[in-house]
Amino acid sequence: MLKSFTSKERDWMLYDVGNSAFILLVTTILPIYFKSLTEGSGVTGTEYFAYWGMAMTASTLITAVSGPLLGRLADGPVGRRKSFLSSVVLAVFASLLFPFFKSWQSFLIAFVVAKVGYNISLIFYDAMLVDTTDHKRADRVSATGFALGYIGSCIPFVISLAMIMLLPKSGVSMTFIMTAVFILNGAWWFIFTLPLLRSYQQTHRGEERIDFKGIKKTLTHIYKDKALFFFLVSFFFYIDGVYTIINMATAYGESLGLKSEGLLLALLVTQIVAFPASLVFAKLSGRMASQKLIAISIAAYTAIALFAVQLDNLTEFWVLAIAVGLFQGGIQSISRSHFMRLIPAEQSGEYFGIYDIFGKGASVIGTFLVSSLTHTLGSQSKAILSLVVLFILGGIFFKKSLVYMNKN
Rounded-to-integer distance, Cα 201 and Cα 314, Å: 47
Contacts of 280 (CB under 8 A, 6+ apart): 330
Rounded-to-integer distance, Cα 133 and Cα 137, Å: 6
- Sign of the alpha-carbon torsion through 16, 17, 19, 21: positive
> How far from the centroid of its chain's Cα atoms is residue 19's Cα?
10
Rounded-to-integer distance, Cα 84 and Cα 208, Å: 18
- Sign of the alpha-carbon torsion through 135, 353, 405, 397: positive
- Helix spans in 200-313 (H): 212-224, 226-255, 260-284, 290-309
DSSP state of 5: S
Rounded-to-integer distance, Cα 26 and Cα 7, Å: 30
The pLDDT, as a whole number, for residue 370 is: 78
pLDDT in tens, the chain (408 residues): 677 889 999 999 999 999 988 988 887 788 888 888 887 777 777 788 778 888 888 888 888 888 888 888 888 777 888 999 999 999 999 999 998 888 888 999 999 999 999 999 999 998 888 888 888 888 889 888 888 888 888 889 889 988 988 888 888 888 898 899 999 999 999 999 999 999 888 887 766 555 667 778 888 888 999 999 999 999 999 998 888 887 677 666 766 666 767 777 777 788 788 888 888 888 887 788 889 999 999 999 999 988 888 777 778 888 888 898 899 888 988 898 889 888 887 788 788 888 887 876 566 677 778 777 877 777 666 777 888 889 999 999 999 999 988 876
Q: Would the pTM of this model clear 0.75, i.e. be above it?
A: yes
**Within 13 Å and on the Cβ side, how many CA atoms surround 152?**
22
Domain 7-407 homologous superfamily, CATH? MFS general substrate transporter like domains (1.20.1250.20)
Three-state SS string over 361-388 comes to CCHHHHHHHHHHHHHHHCCHHHHHHHHH
Three-state SS string over 126-160 comes to HHCHHHHCCHHHHHHHHHHHHHHHHHHHHHHHHHH
Contacts of 97 (CB under 8 A, 6+ apart): 110
Domain ranges of the chain: 7-407
